[in-house]
Chains A and B, each alone.
Chain A
Amino acid sequence: MIPPSRLRPRDALRVAAAGLTARPLRVVLSALGIAVGIAAMVAVVGISASSREEIDQQLRALGTNLLTVEPGQTLMSGEPAKLPQESVDMVARIGPVTSVSAVGAIDGAFVYRNDRIDEGRTNGLTALAARPDLLDAVSAEVASGRWLDDALTGYPTVVLGATAADRLGISATDATVSAWLGEQWFVVVGILEPAPLAPELDAAALIGWPIAQDLLGYDGAPTRLYERSPESAVDDVRAVLPGTVNPENPEEVTVSRPSDALAAQTATDETLITLLLALGGVALLVGGIGVANTMVIAVLERRSEIGRRRALGATRAHIRIQFLGESVLLAGLGGIGGVVLGGAVTGVFAASRDWPLALPAWALVSAAGATILVGALAGAYPATRAARMSPTAALATM
């Protein structure tokens, strides 16, 4: 009996690759279609993963154990409620609490660049009385100058939030510049970095608690408490906070966890990411159609090659494998190009925003899977046509 026709797997790969190297320009152009689709999808996943990684890193640095307490509104009149002056000390007495601080809004006090500016142009900035331990509690940093330490709280000095400094046009912190705050001159001694966990500080001018009471008639009632406790105790502390700060009307108190709001930013991006991924999918589909088109033409052009191979002993299956392999290789080349391109786009984008670069492995695995699938689907019909071609008809087309 005759031994069967046999094409070794390595030879099948070699034959498929040879079909591509014979027409380099066409290969590059049709692989480009796949590359664009894959690049789009990899970039979308990569950029969103990088942005999430950035927020995760921020949260790791800032901690997720910060709770803020606001007075909320009175149930009866709807007026803004007030926290009792002693609430800070009361919170400090809750067992697991490790640090607590507070700010208080000073009624009717606004901050201006100088005393000639129209009173209506507040720039949306607020004046807050701040306790010296505020920065530790909210993990905020001084960008330049100094903080309102105990030595300064009794003097007319001010530290500006990042946004406030920007809006007032103040950058000098060497005590040469003063701001007009609550009808008084306050010397600018420091500017803060943006505080992601306490964004309300960014647009604020912060002054010492005693000077606010002495000069500006501040009543000393805190309007926002910042409190930290070990991660494991956060829920317990959260439960007792309202009753602690306002035993008479605990229902008026609002407790929130700023890290939740930060984490929620990533969730709001989900729909946009899905949309962009779908667009990438459409690009991939179009690329796949391009590959199918290339393969159909290749089969038509290479009828004599198909006939020659059949004469050399190739079975129908060998011809099918050859063209299917060519199609998968073609798509695979595009896939590799797409991953490189998408990775580069992610890298450039992340670098421009100072984000860490994050490319999840599952995205790369799915990109590989998608290209193999697209290549196989695109090549299935042309390969079947090539395999079904009768050897004599294939040879007779010369």
Chain B
Amino acid sequence: MAALTRGWPPAAENEPPVAELRGVTRTYPGRPPVRALRAVDLRIERGELVGIVGPSGSGKSTLLNILGTLDVADAGSVRIDGHDVSTLTDRQLSALRAHRIGFVFQQFFLSPGVSARDNVADGLLYTGMPLADRRRRADQTLARVGLADRAHHRPHELSGGQNQRVAVARALVGRPAILLADEPTGALDSESGADVIDLLHELHRCGTTIVVITHDHEIAGMLPRQVHLRDGQIASDNAVATSGTPQ
């Protein structure tokens, strides 16, 4: 099975893929309408580290939004962590994001004036966990991203790379099934960018499923699986290339 060759640790045979897109199309209304995605098939197994690569306008942000259930496909089927997204209500989609999906944004989107620990704890805000527990989990997660000694620093007291690591910790704190990173190095210099990519590799080695959007081919080249998008279609997918036909 193709699934056995992908990622680490290997996914169990009977577990559903983290994400499974079939014939996904997304068109934004307008004159002329923008066809951001055209019949995209994509399957991401547990434990994979996938780069979605492409020039701007190739539809990679739309793809990420659909993977993150922030956007809904016009056609095709989307299953995230085994749930058919088209059948879920807004409340259920929110619950899926709160518990199963972690986001990392290019601009970090941390709350200004709030400590790193509380920014990370906010990753659990909408799970209904009490504040003390959220903070304890935040401290553990900050230690995982190497910022245990920065828990009480606020965003303006941290470097860009550190802030992005705080953002990664916030995405991780809820132990999501999938971590979606949208140009995580886009706002960083190359050195701190490399730091963040190293962190993602390390998390991947520990079993986290990660999807990284990037237009940087150098970064993409270091990722085990690369999906190239062009004009809303998958131009190449090295996982598919090595394992034969998609499922």
Q: Are B94 and A313 in contact (CB under 8 A)?
A: yes
Asked if B105 and A395 make an inter-chain contact with CB atoms under 8 angstroms apart, the answer reads yes
User: A311 touching B97 by the CB < 8 A rule?
Assistant: yes
Q: Are B97 and A313 in contact (CB under 8 A)?
A: yes
Q: Which chain A residues in 1-44 approach chain B with CB under 8 Å?
A: 2-8, 10-11, 15, 18, 22
What chain A residues lie within 8 Å of B90 (beta carbons)? 315-316
Name the CB-closest residue of A to B89.
A315
**Interface check B59, CB cutoff 8 A:** no
- For the complex, what is the distance from the CA of A3 to the CA of B123, rounded to whole Å? 15
Question: Given A2-B100, A395-B105: A315 and B127 within 8 A (CB)?
Answer: no
> Interface readout for A235-257 with B: 1 if CB under 8 Å, 0 if not?
00000000000000000000000
CB distance from A306 to the nearest CB of B (A): 11
Q: Are A310 and B94 closer than 8 Å at their CB atoms?
A: yes
Inter-chain contact A392/B97, CB cutoff 8 Å: no
Known A313-B97, A395-B105; contact A5-B71, beta-carbon cutoff 8 A:
no
Residues of B within 8 A of A10 (CB): 131
- Measured CA separation A310–B98 after assembly (Å): 9
B:79-135 near A, CB below 8 Å: 83, 90-92, 94-101, 103, 105, 107, 109, 111-114, 122-123, 125-128, 130-131
- Asked whether B65 is an interface residue with its Cβ less than 8 Å from the other chain, the reply is yes
**Interface size bracket, B side:** 20 to 34
A398 touches B107 (CB 8 A): yes
Bound-state CA distance A308–B170 (Å) is 11
Contact of B94 among A22, A308, A315 (CB under 8 A): A315
- Return chain A residues, CB-CB under 8 Å to B113: 22
A351 CA to B91 CA in the complex, in Å? 58
Residue pair A311, B68 in contact (C-beta under 8 Å): yes
Please report the C-alpha to C-alpha distance between residue A391 and residue B111 in the assembled complex, in whole angstroms.
17
The answer to whether the Cβ of B70 comes within 8 Å of any Cβ in the partner chain is yes
B95 and A4: CB pair below 8 A?
yes
> In this complex, what residue of A is CB-closest to B83?
A2
With A311-B97, A316-B90 known to touch, is A8 a contact of B128 (CB < 8 Å)?
A: yes
Measured between beta carbons, the chain B residues less than 8 angstroms from A5 are 91, 94-95, 97-98, 126-128
Q: How far is the CA of A6 from the CA of B94 in the complex (A)?
A: 10
| Chain A interface, >50% SS class | helix
Chain A min CB distance to B37 (Å) = 13
Contact status B125-A2, CB under 8 Å: no
Among residues of A, the one whose C-beta sits closest to the C-beta of B81 is: A2
Q: Complex formed: what's the CA distance from A7 to B91 in Å?
A: 12
Q: Is the CB of B107 within 8 A of A392?
A: no
A241 to B80: give the CA distance in the assembly, Å: 97
Q: Tell whether, in the assembled complex, residue A395 and residue B92 are in contact, meaning their CB atoms are under 8 Å apart.
A: no
A185 vs B90: C-alpha distance when bound (angstroms): 99
Q: Cβ of A304: which chain B residues have Cβ within 8 Å of it?
A: 107, 109
Distance between Cα atoms of A269 and B79 in the complex (Å): 72
* Interface pair A313/B126, CB less than 8 Å apart: yes
Q: Residue A52 at the B interface, CB < 8 A?
A: no
Task: Scan A269-312; emit 1 where CB is below 8 A from any B CB, else 0.
Answer: 00000000000000000000000000000000000110111111
Assess whether A22 is in contact with B91, with CB atoms less than 8 Å apart. Answer: no
Tell me the minimal C-beta distance from B139 to chain A in angstroms: 18
* Shortest beta-carbon distance from A217 to chain B in Å: 92
Given contacts A5-B126, A7-B128, contact A395 B70 (CB under 8 A): yes
Residues of B within 8 A of A305 (CB): 109, 111
Residue A131, interface by CB 8 Å: no
Set of chain B residues within 8 Å of A308, measured between Cβ atoms: 103, 105, 109
B97 and A310 form a contact (CB under 8 A): yes
Does A314 sit within 8 A of B, measured CB to CB? yes
* Structural contact, B70 and A2, CB atoms closer than 8 A: no
Instruction: State whether B70 touches A7 (Cβ < 8 A).
Output: no
Q: Contact at A312–B68, with CB atoms within 8 Å?
A: no
Question: 1/0 per residue A307-348: CB within 8 Å of B?
Answer: 111111111111000000000000000000000000000000
Residue of B nearest to A21 (CB): B113
Q: Out of A2, A15, A398, which one reaches B92, CB within 8 Å?
A: A2
In the complex, per-residue mask of B222-236: 1 if CB is within 8 Å of any chain A CB, else 0: 000000000000000
Q: In the docked arrangement, what's the CA distance between A7 and B130, Å?
A: 10
- B127, A6: Cβ atoms under 8 Å? yes
Chain B nearest CB: distance from A5 CB in Å? 4
**Closest 8 pairs (CB-CB, A-B):** A313-B98, A6-B128, A313-B126, A315-B94, A391-B70, A5-B94, A311-B103, A308-B109
Mark B residues whose CB is within 8 Å of A.
Answer: 65, 68, 70-71, 83, 90-92, 94-101, 103, 105, 107, 109, 111-114, 122-123, 125-128, 130-131, 170
For this complex, 21 residue pairs linking A to B, each with C-beta atoms less than 8 Å apart, are A2-B92, A2-B96, A2-B99, A5-B91, A6-B128, A11-B131, A18-B111, A304-B109, A308-B109, A309-B126, A311-B101, A311-B103, A312-B122, A312-B123, A312-B170, A313-B96, A314-B98, A315-B126, A317-B91, A395-B65, A395-B105
